[in-house]
Amino acid sequence: MSAVRRFKATDLFKFNNVNLDFLTETYNISFYLSYLARWPDLFCVQESPNGAMMGYIMGKAEGRGKEWHGHVTAITVASEYRRIGLADGMMKLLESVSDKIYNGYFVDLFVRVSNTVAIGMYKKFGYSVYRRVIGYYSSGDNNEEDAFDMRKPLPRDVNKESIIENGEQNLVKPEDL
Amino acid sequence: MNTIVDVNERKIRPIYEAIDNCSYKPALQQCNKLLKKQPDALILKALKGLVLERMGKSDEALQLCNQVKEKNPTDEPILQALTMVYRSLGKHDEIVKIYDNATRKNPNNEELSNHWFMAMVRNSDFKGQQQVALKLHKNFKLNKYLFWAIMSLVLQAENAPASQSGIFLELAERMMDKAVKEGKLEQTEEVHLYLIVLLAQNKFQAALDVLEGDLGKKCKEDVEINRIRSDLLLKTSNWIKAIEMGKKSLTESNPDDWNSYNIYLESYLHLLSEPDKNENGSSSVNLDEAREFLYSLQKSVIESSDVKRGPFLAELKLEKYIVEKLKDCKPAKEIDTLIVDYFLRFGSKDCCFEDLQPYLKEIHIDSAKKIIEKFKATIDESCDDEKSKIQNIKKNVNIHKFERYLNLLVEYNEVESIQYVNKLWHSYKDSLQYGTKLLEAENQYGDDFVLLCSHVLIDLYKKFGKSSYIFQAIFLLEAAVKKSNYNFQFKLPLIRLYQTIGIFDRPLELYKSMDIKHVQLDTMSHYIVSRSFSSGFFDESTQACYDTLPIYRSNELETPEMIVQAFKFTTFSKIQEFVALRKELENSLQKALVDREMVRLEILIASKSNKQVIEYFQDLDVSELSYDDGFCTNLRDNRDFVSMPNYNPDNKPTMEEITRVSSKLDKLWLKLFSIIPRILKCIHVEQNADNVKQLVEELEKILTEEIKGDHNIMEQEMQLGNVIVKLGRLFITVKEIQNGQKEFVQNFDSIAEELVNAIKASEPVDNSQIKLYDIKWLLFHQLTSFFETCNYALIGIGVLNETLNVKNKKSGLKALAQKLQNMSLTIKNHFTYLKKQLICLNELFKNDEEDCDKILLYIKSEPHVEFCDEKESVPFVKEILGKINTNWKNNIQNMIKEIDSKFESNEK
């Protein structure tokens, strides 16, 4: 149970409960604002009935031709609001906006290959691995990690051209993205 | 002459590249080389200005840029280089000027005009924006410019006095209506703008009409538009439509959407309670219909794979409303039953505790006890699969949280409370076996048991005042942090607990481990920097204060650019928010508080020598020390006081409030610590008696206000203020005597005595008999405050003495000078006393091993948790105590050193 609404710029003052979580990165303000300035409808927050921030999703629309798609840049839920289907609701919302407003062919996202919990969740939501990006995550100190680029086709992609089978074996370098 | 073609582009490119690579030295060399050949080339001067600015030479950079500006350049690269310099130095009005000039010369250049508009945006010149946007629209006809102008009117209205804002909005609305008629509205964001204009005037029906008409259809997929529409339906009492809208959203898209339930239920209950006033058809409304609707949603979510909480929580809301508001109706099920049913279904979810709070709030204690029993009965102890065991852990955690929330633990005495903590700790330890497969970043399933332990121990500390409970809470939380390395919910209370016993370094370490940055520096830094002066670690505190500053710089640089972006992408729905964000950070209370704390610390650090401190005051910019009512009213408190977990009953203070080591810093504190350095600066540098007089009067007003007020200023800070009042008075008297008003000589003695007494009164009580384990934040606060007081007094008297000596060698005021010197001696004696106190404290410490044993022995002599007796936890406990001990020792020795160095360097 939650109330979905657009993320407001001043929500940045209220998101600590979500962002103090170790896996949720806090970016500089212009990162959030640049998303809000261009894709205000792809950045949504969920609030509990008592008004606490439970989680948020931020995304963008990009690509040319048949690559035109919605992209999930970040999705996060505070620990006490996990396992109640919030991520599911937020992904559906982003997919719906990518489809109906942006008329995209698919939605995609990147996830660490080690993050099996998240990968399993996205598969449940209908995403499949499209390719594996070598060393996509690098924090400078040899902590390189590959990413799965996962995709879910939208109704516009009638022939499901945006996905492939066995995408795990489809290796690409980050510079070729 | 002022065109770019003067200089070969090929020659300039390396300069740009060097700037991009932050190689400023070579860039500067290249500029100088080319300038030798072409000393008048504006692009070279502008680029040199940019390089100089990047190198931190702002004055030289500005000088060069102003030279370029006077030539009224129109070339984009020149203008851009100037813009970058001015922007970085916050001189937005200069950017407006250069583009104003350039556009005058080139009125048909659309790009230049766009830059002019954006310069206005950065400068928050809403009126200028409107005018430029209209010009743009007139010259270049794009609809976008018209909407820019309308948006600018809205911003003008928002920032105008209430009496004038109406005019701006009316104009905006007229322009919008015309645009609609001419079919210019195409994008959803433009519809948003239309709504903004109407809603700012509370024209709800008109706004609703827009959404129900053709324009509304265009954006029916926009979540925000739909949210606004449902809100408007309620505001215009369109209950039936609102019910339909809520119903549709719940059945077709999301049965878990709280907004839709609110709309649905609110409308329904309205119709029910005032059937006469409504449209036809209202008679058909009855409670059973609403219930049936919720039941059908419940049925559908039960059948789906993941059960949503929405329809169940909505049922609670409905029945609670019936019980409270509809006297003639009976709830279909008792609230207590619904609560237990809800727990049965969702008791293993963390958020169950929060979900049920509103329905348990005013419950009678007997019912509360019964409910808890029923909650307990829902736990199936016989299960043996891991998933069910984990669910049981979560349910148990929730039950304990409810017990606390419902105030069921108050009857426990000291020993019973400890037994309760033991029980919770056992549950926690038992839960660990199920978490071995968790990822490193995840929290253990039973972590909240430990939080509850710490809350009980903190209660005990508050009730009995024994620091043994603080130590124990620290032990348990630290042990749990070892297992859940990244659990910030442990770290926040730990920071406060350590601070309670006067520890600075471990809280800082914990704070840093949470990777707090960017906007969090504004919201979270208060955990570390509030009254960090009192920690006694002056250098480290200063650094911690400095570390919070980047966010305010980012706001200056980044947020205006983002407002520009929002205009470029015509995202009208976000512009007011961005403007608001910019203001919130610009006028951040926390920023002002940190600034004042830094000034205190910097004065102290500079006080090691008289010369340094005078220089410091000379450089101190009092315009940075605002405290007037206008400034204070605009301040925005963005500090986060809610992220620390709290399960206390609603009528009791939260854990965040309970664990504060000192009162919350507020605007009165800000005023106090703005005026004190102003008075000191005035005495040291300007020597203007009238100014000092005025400041002293204001300071007195604050001190009286505090006595009547919220008591957010500490006793020691009041005493400090009092000393400064007397010091200021003494200064005024000396000045008057100097001016030949001999009658003031008589006053001198009494005021001097008042000052001496005020200092004496702020002397901390003798702490030499304190026990090691009783060292607290307050002790260090008293010592450092006295240090601060004596320091100000000593340097102040020093200045007075010089004033007299220098100018009155023969004036027969030698007696006064002698008296001042005696006062200096008295203050030095205070320092000696302070040092003696510190030395006594230092003697409390023997060797680490012995000290730790002593503290542990003390803890064990009081009621204590089993954890302290367990053999395997002894090394862990001793390690923590060792660190605490070292921190205390360092702190005390550090302060001794500060006192010594103060006198050593002054005597040299």
The pLDDT of residue B325:
83
Least confident window among B166-180, B414-428, B801-815: B801-815
Choose from A15, A22, A62 for mutation: most chain B CBs within 10 A.
A22
Name the average pLDDT for chain B. Answer: 92
Bridge-based pairing of strands A53-62 and A128-137 is unpaired
Q: Could you tell me the CA-to-CA distances from B903 to B479, B723, B763 in Å, in that order?
A: 44, 21, 19
Boundary (domain end) residue, out of A43, A73, A104: A104
Residue B807's pLDDT band (cuts 50, 70, 90): low
| Whether A48 and A81 share a structural domain | yes
The pLDDT of residue B609:
84
State yes or no: pLDDT of B739 exceeds 90.
no
Q: Do A89 and B254 touch (CB under 8 A)?
A: yes
| Whether A13 and A78 share a structural domain | yes
Considering only CB atoms, which chain B residues are within 8 Å of A2? 256-258
Give the minimum alpha-carbon distance from A78 to chain B in angstroms, rounded to a whole number: 10
State yes or no: pLDDT of B392 exceeds 70.
yes
Rounded to an integer, the average pLDDT of B112-126 is 96
Q: Do A33 and B227 touch (CB under 8 A)?
A: no
| Whether A167 and A97 share a structural domain | no
Nearest-CB residue to A37 (from B309, B439, B565): B565
Considering only CB atoms, which chain A residues are within 8 Å of B349? 83-84
| Whether A65 and A118 share a structural domain | no
User: What count of other Cβ atoms lies within 10 Å of the Cβ of residue B904?
Assistant: 12
| Whether A92 and A122 share a structural domain | no
Q: Do A80 and B354 touch (CB under 8 A)?
A: yes
More confident residue, B622 or B281: B622
Nearest-CB residue to A84 (from B188, B349, B584): B349
Burial class (CB in 10 A: 0-12, 13-18, 19+), B490: buried
Considering only CB atoms, which chain A residues are within 8 Å of B310? 1
**Percentage above 70 pLDDT, chain B:** 97
Considering only CB atoms, which chain B residues are within 8 Å of A89? 254, 256
More confident residue, A72 or A116: A72
Portion 21-50 of A in contact with B at CB < 8 A: 21-23, 26-30, 33-34, 36-38, 40-41, 44, 47-50
Q: Phi/psi zone of residue B470: left (φ > 0), alpha (ψ -120 to 50 degrees), beta?
A: alpha
Q: How far apart are CA B320 and CA B12, in angstroms?
A: 74
Give B251's DSSP letter.
Answer: I
Bridge-based pairing of strands A106-112 and A69-77 is parallel
Q: How far apart are CA A93 and CA A108, in angstroms?
A: 14
Q: Which of B768, B771, B780, B777 is nearest to B859 (CA)?
A: B771
Considering only CB atoms, which chain A residues are within 8 Å of B221? 96-97, 100-101
Q: How far apart are CA B165 and CA B163, in angstroms?
A: 6
| Whether A150 and A80 share a structural domain | no
Rounded to an integer, the average pLDDT of B377-402 is 94
Q: B618-627 burial string, b = 16+ CB within 10 Å, else e? A: eebeeeebbb
Give the highest mean pLDDT range of B217-226, B410-419, B440-449, B590-599. Answer: B590-599
Cβ atoms of residues B664 and B658 within 8 Å? no
CATH number of B4-204: 1.25.40.1040
| Whether A14 and A92 share a structural domain | yes
Give the minimum alpha-carbon distance from B76 to chain A in angstroms, rounded to a whole number: 24
Give the minimum alpha-carbon distance from A10 to chain B in angstroms, rounded to a whole number: 6
Closest residue of B to A115, CA-based?
Answer: B439
| Whether A99 and A129 share a structural domain | no
Considering only CB atoms, which chain B residues are within 8 Å of A14? 640
Give the minimum alpha-carbon distance from B419 to chain A in angstroms, rounded to a whole number: 27
The pLDDT of residue B286:
81
* CB-based contact, A89 to chain B, within 8 Å: yes
User: What count of other Cβ atoms lies within 10 Å of the Cβ of residue B642?
Assistant: 15
Cβ atoms of residues B784 and B537 within 8 Å? no
Residue range A118-140, pLDDT digits in tens: 999 999 999 999 999 999 988 65
- First-residue to last-residue Cα distance in chain B: 60
Residue range B608-638, pLDDT digits in tens: 888 899 999 999 999 999 999 999 999 999 9
CATH code for position A2: 3.40.630.30
| Whether A76 and A155 share a structural domain | no
Boundary (domain end) residue, out of A69, A104, A139: A104
Q: Do B223 and A29 touch (CB under 8 A)?
A: no
User: What count of other Cβ atoms lies within 10 Å of the Cβ of residue B814?
Assistant: 13
Choose from A33, A83, A115 for mutation: most chain B CBs within 10 A.
A33
Rounded to an integer, the average pLDDT of B688-709 is 90
Cβ atoms of residues B184 and B213 within 8 Å? no
Q: Do B519 and A85 touch (CB under 8 A)?
A: no
Give the minimum alpha-carbon distance from B666 to chain A in angstroms, rounded to a whole number: 19
The pLDDT of residue A3:
82
Domain ranges of chain B: 4-204, 225-562
* CB-facing half-sphere around the CA of B249: CA atoms within 13 A: 25
Considering only CB atoms, which chain A residues are within 8 Å of B356? none
Q: How far apart are CA A82 and CA B227, in angstroms?
A: 25
Which domain covers residue A18, as residue numbers? 1-104
Closest residue of A to B437, CA-based?
Answer: A117
Supply the ipTM of this predicted assembly: 0.95
| Whether A100 and A116 share a structural domain | no
Q: How far apart are CA B683 and CA B615, in angstroms?
A: 13
Angle at CA of residue B718, ends B715 and B721, nearest 5°: 155
Number of domains making up chain A? 2
Residue whose token pair is 């209430």: B162
**Measured over all CA atoms, what is the biggest interatomic distance in chain B, rounded to whole angstroms?**
102
Q: How far apart are CA B90 and CA B87, in angstroms?
A: 5
Cβ atoms of residues B184 and B209 within 8 Å? no
Closest residue of A to B353, CA-based?
Answer: A80
Q: Do A29 and B306 touch (CB under 8 A)?
A: no
B122 is written with which tokens?
A: 């950065």
Considering only CB atoms, which chain B residues are within 8 Å of A88? 306
Give the minimum alpha-carbon distance from A35 to chain B in angstroms, rounded to a whole number: 10
Considering only CB atoms, which chain B residues are within 8 Å of A27? 518
Residues 6+ apart with CB under 8 A from A96: B221
Portion 146-175 of A in contact with B at CB < 8 A: none
| Whether A156 and A72 share a structural domain | no
* CB-based contact, A17 to chain B, within 8 Å: yes
Rounded to an integer, the average pLDDT of B46-51 is 95
Nearest-CB residue to B562 (from A2, A27, A34): A34
Boundary (domain end) residue, out of A88, A104, A120: A104
Considering only CB atoms, which chain A residues are within 8 Å of B495? none
- A-B CB pairs within 8 A amount to 171
| Whether A5 and A91 share a structural domain | yes
The pLDDT of residue A176:
85
